[in-house]
Amino acid sequence: MRSAARVDTRKDLVWCGTELLTERGFQITGIEEVLKRVGVPKGSFYHYFKSKDDFGHAVIDNYEQYYARKMDRIFGNVDRSPLQRLRDFVLNAKNGMVKFDFKRGCLIGNLGQELAALDTQFRERLESVLLSWERRVSGCLKEAIEVGELAPGQDPEALSRFFWVGWEGAILRAKLMRSLQPIDQFTAIYFDSVLMRPIPTRKVRS
């Protein structure tokens, strides 16, 4: 029982850290505040994590798993065409920005800006997450080419990388402006100009 309680408490600390780090960042977030919010006695942090860096990596792992489940749900929806799935991803993110009053953006992008120049392990870990997201979207775009939503001969890997580079910037700007306008502007250009869309010659799978 004590072991199970320990695991549950650790999960609670990680989820609380995920929320706070998404809003504020790693360095400004104090461990004492996390412990207080979860109701863990002060000084107990090192029963659950070796260091604050260890805690940070646990938060990144948690966020990656959470986002993978979300992407599985959105990009695995065979009732929607490939590009519709990508648009669904955008809409889901926009709804999340509004729900949290533009206080939360992308944890991976936030920490990348904050820690990339300071810590090699964090930089490499964050880059690996972004690469996994790029593979997810490139697979979606490859399928869009196969079903005729996109013209053949395009490079789904390059298009995916361009999406994520622009997307992370749009999310940051949306937080600064407290507005969806940067996201709408980027995605409009991406879908209407970057993705050259011919008249489909094959039926889109539904």
Asked if residue 72 is part of any domain, the answer here is yes
Q: How far does the chain reach from its first CA to its final CA, in angstroms?
A: 48
pLDDT at 147: 94
Rounded to an integer, what distance in angstroms lies between the CA atom of residue 114 and that of residue 107?
A: 10
Residue 194, pLDDT above cutoff 80: yes
Domain count, the chain: 1
Asked if residue 200 is part of any domain, the answer here is no
Assess contact for 145 and 154: CB atoms under 8 A. yes
pLDDT mean across residues, the chain: 89
* Structural domain for 186, as ranges: 53-194
Q: Residue 49: which region, alpha, beta or left (left: phi > 0; alpha: psi -120 to 50)?
A: beta
pLDDT at 67: 94
Asked if residue 156 is part of any domain, the answer here is yes
Identify the CATH number of the domain in which residue 187 sits: 1.10.357.10
pLDDT at 28: 83
What's the rounded mean pLDDT across residues 108-131?
88
Q: Among 52, 17, 58, which residue's Cα sits nearest to residue 38?
A: 17
Q: Tell me, what amino acid is at 76?
A: G
The whole-angstrom distance between residue 153's C-alpha and the CA centroid of its chain comes to 28
Asked if residue 31 is part of any domain, the answer here is no
**Cβ-proximal residues to 132 (8 Å cutoff; 6+ apart), any chain:** 64, 68
Asked if residue 189 is part of any domain, the answer here is yes
Asked if residue 45 is part of any domain, the answer here is no
12-68: pLDDT as tens digits: 999 999 999 988 888 888 888 999 999 998 788 888 999 999 999 999 999 999 999
Return the structure tokens found at 28. Answer: 């400004």
Assess contact for 144 and 82: CB atoms under 8 A. yes
pLDDT at 6: 57
Residue 198, pLDDT above cutoff 70: no
The model's pTM = 0.85
Asked if residue 19 is part of any domain, the answer here is no
Q: Tell me, what amino acid is at 154?
A: Q
- Write the DSSP string, 165-183: HHHHHHHHHHHHHTSSHHH
Asked if residue 104 is part of any domain, the answer here is yes
Task: Give residue 2's pLDDT band: very low, low, confident or very high (50, 70, 90).
Answer: very low
